[in-house]
Amino acid sequence: MPKPLFSVRVRVPASSANLGPGFDCLGIALTLYDEWRVEGWPGDASLRIAVDGADGIPTDGRNLAYQAFRKVFQIHNRPLPALRMDLKSRIPVAGGLGSSSAAIVGGVVAANRALGDPMTRDQLLDIAAEFEGHPDNVAPALFGGFCAATYGEGKVHCVSWQSPALFRDLVAVVAIPYFELKTEKARAVLPKNVSRLDAVFNTGRAALLVAALLSKRYDLLGDAMGDRLHEPYRQKLIPGFSSAIAAAESAGAYGAALSGAGPTLLALAPRSKTTAVGEAMVAAFRDATVPARSEILELDLRGARVKGS
């Protein structure tokens, strides 16, 4: 029976970026997972990708996980073997829950393990963030927990918090509309310049949000999740946005915001209110004739996990 050169399985969490004011720098990992199995076989660099659970994910050289995998091999001057990649997709595609970041992180982590783990997670973060263009989804997808990540000189600076105590009574309720919104489209509507008032509004809230989460001042999240840099421009792409945010807060969420570039919305809620918050957001979307579903997710505290050698 022939054996592969390597066989690696990687499970990568979904992520929710921005959390309101932390545009391109704050994110959390969530307990919804994509799982990749990557096998290398002797032979030339042929590629076979199979996807279970999603439509529209490229199964050729355009696949992001493959490109990220190949990049790590290139950095180490190692030729690619024949690759078989299998994806169990659970994270909605172009939904605002970090599906492309999960693919990139799956690719770099699998390649690193296939090569015997020559790179640290911080080094993998630099590669993954370069692919994605911003670090706020790839950081939580790699590390888990709550992450603050931004570009320093030529590398990503990231601090992540994974303490279970931090999130003990904080549950993520996401409302996922049944339509896709590509990040490029949601970034294209943003203005090139913003006023100082709006910049000050956001820096104050981003700082307050980090402090509120770390000190468990959840009562501050409603204000701290406010944003003027992206949500005001993106809401025209998401019918029902404002009423669903308001509905989440009326139903007992501490705060709510657009998840990444949308169209999913994220509410952070006490455990006792999660069902009501999910139902309220879905009902508000329905009133705006947008079919949606809700999911109650915990914060993932482990990030990308790998099995195999």
* Interface residues toward ligand HSE, by CB under 6 A: 17-18, 23-24, 134, 136-137, 183, 186-187, 230, 260-261
DSSP 154: S
Residue partners of 28: CB distance under 8 A and separation at least 6: 15, 16, 19, 140, 145, 146, 147, 172, 299
Which entry of 39, 130, 150, 183 is annotated as an active-site residue? 183
Cβ proximity to ligand HSE, 23 vs 73, nearer residue: 23
User: For residues 271 and 76, is the Cβ–Cβ distance under 8 A?
Assistant: no
Cβ proximity to ligand HSE, 3 vs 192, nearer residue: 192
Cβ proximity to ligand HSE, 25 vs 220, nearer residue: 25
Partners of residue 39 on adjacent β-strands: 7, 84
The torsion angles phi and psi of 114, rounded to 5 degrees, stand at -60, -30
The number of beta carbons lying within 10 Å of the beta carbon of residue 253 is 30
Q: Rounded distance, CA 280 to CA 267, Å?
A: 11
DSSP 155: S
3-state percent helix, strand, coil for the chain, nearest multiple of 5:
40, 30, 35
User: DSSP alpha helices (H): ranges in the chain?
Assistant: 64-75, 99-114, 121-132, 138-143, 183-188, 196-214, 221-224, 231-234, 241-250, 274-287
Shortest separation between residue 136's beta carbon and ligand HSE, angstroms: 5
Query: Of 160, 286, 201, nearest to 20 (Cα)?
Result: 201
Cβ proximity to ligand HSE, 81 vs 135, nearer residue: 135
Shortest separation between residue 133's beta carbon and ligand HSE, angstroms: 8
Query: Of 302, 296, 245, nearest to 271 (Cα)?
Result: 296
Q: Rounded distance, CA 169 to CA 141, Å?
A: 21
Active site residue 150: no
Q: Rounded distance, CA 129 to CA 111, Å?
A: 16
User: For residues 229 and 241, is the Cβ–Cβ distance under 8 A?
Assistant: no
User: For residues 212 and 221, is the Cβ–Cβ distance under 8 A?
Assistant: yes
Shortest separation between residue 91's beta carbon and ligand HSE, angstroms: 13
Cβ proximity to ligand HSE, 39 vs 300, nearer residue: 300
Shortest separation between residue 134's beta carbon and ligand HSE, angstroms: 5
Active site residue 274: no
- Residues classed as catalytic: 132, 183
